[in-house]
Amino acid sequence: MSLLNTPFDPAREAALVTGAGNGIGRAIAQALVGEGVRTVFADIREDMVRAAIAASPRPELAVPWVGDLAQREACDALLAAARSAVGQVTHFVHSAAPARREADHVFAVSDETWRQMHAVNLDAGFHLSRELARQLIAAGAPGSFLLLTSLHAGTPRNLPHYSTAKAAMAMLVKELAKSFGRFNIRVNALVPGAIAAGGFVADPALAKHIPLGRLGRSEDLAPMALAVLSNRISAYVTGAAIVVDGGLSLTNWFEPPTFEDI
């Protein structure tokens, strides 16, 4: 049996991906069904969920769910819907996040935008993780959770509602990993760099600061997400922050060197 050819056990494993309507969540959800894993595609945008499933390698394994994860009742409805559609969720990916608008700087951001950003990223991430962990512990089953954080968990983004939500999520991953480890539930963070997905409109000039020479794509995140989610590949990985950024985080005020000879 080849390890990398069979990262999941579709007979026992099922997934739930939030933010599956667009960008990174969509790419991860599509990759999971491509591996034969029954997967709930959860998002606030019904049209985007339908399109993401239609473009999936195996749409018959995908289950749509539409709702606003800023609402606690919607999170509970998602848990119930996932359980009845795919049984026990063993693999959870939290990629949902409201739009990041440059106009929402420190003096402009409204209370509602601040609250929504924290509610979707942090509050829903905590509640869904804790409830799924309760279910897994009761079933005596292993699990693997992946929360999308950001380089802006550690450096400002000029969007304080966003960076503070991501910083809190980065610590949440560590808290959950430490508490759930004894139950064989792993929790990790996936840290994208500048990914030209729906949530980030990138200036192409940014590419010159990225050692690998280009902006990222959602598809750059999906293979690493699957590797970290897989209990076969990453059985001993928990509490980690896996950076997939083309080297962007190596950037500082010095330009990369140019060489006359090598």
Question: Where along the sequence are the contacts to ligand NAD (CB under 6 A)?
Answer: 19, 21-25, 43-45, 48, 68-70, 95-99, 120, 148, 150, 192, 194-195, 197-200
Whole-angstrom Cα Rg for the chain:
18
Residue closer to ligand NAD, measured from CB, 137 or 202: 202
What secondary structure letter does DSSP report for 257? P
Separation of alpha carbons 239 and 243, rounded Å: 13
- The residue (of 139 and 250) whose beta carbon lies closer to ligand NAD is 250
Report CA 101 to chain centroid distance, whole Å. 19
| Three-state DSSP class for residue 85 | helix
Tell me the residue number closest to ligand NAD, measured at CB: 23
CB of 65 to ligand NAD, least distance (A): 9
Nearer to ligand NAD, 141 or 240 (CB): 240
- Least distance to ligand NAD, CB of residue 84, Å: 19
Q: For residues 157 and 4, give the distance between their C-alpha atoms in angstroms, rounded to a whole number.
A: 36
DSSP secondary structure string for all residues of 182-232? GGTEEEEEEEE-SB-STT----GGGGGGSTTSS-B-HHHHHHHHHHHH-TT
Residue closer to ligand NAD by CB (options 14, 122) is: 122
What are the phi and psi torsion angles at 65 (to 5°)?
-145, 135
Q: How far is the CB of 200 from ligand NAD (least distance, A)?
A: 4
Q: Which is nearer to ligand NAD, 36 or 174 (CB)?
A: 174
Smallest separation (angstroms) from ligand NAD to the CB of 61: 20
CB 163, min distance to ligand NAD, A? 10
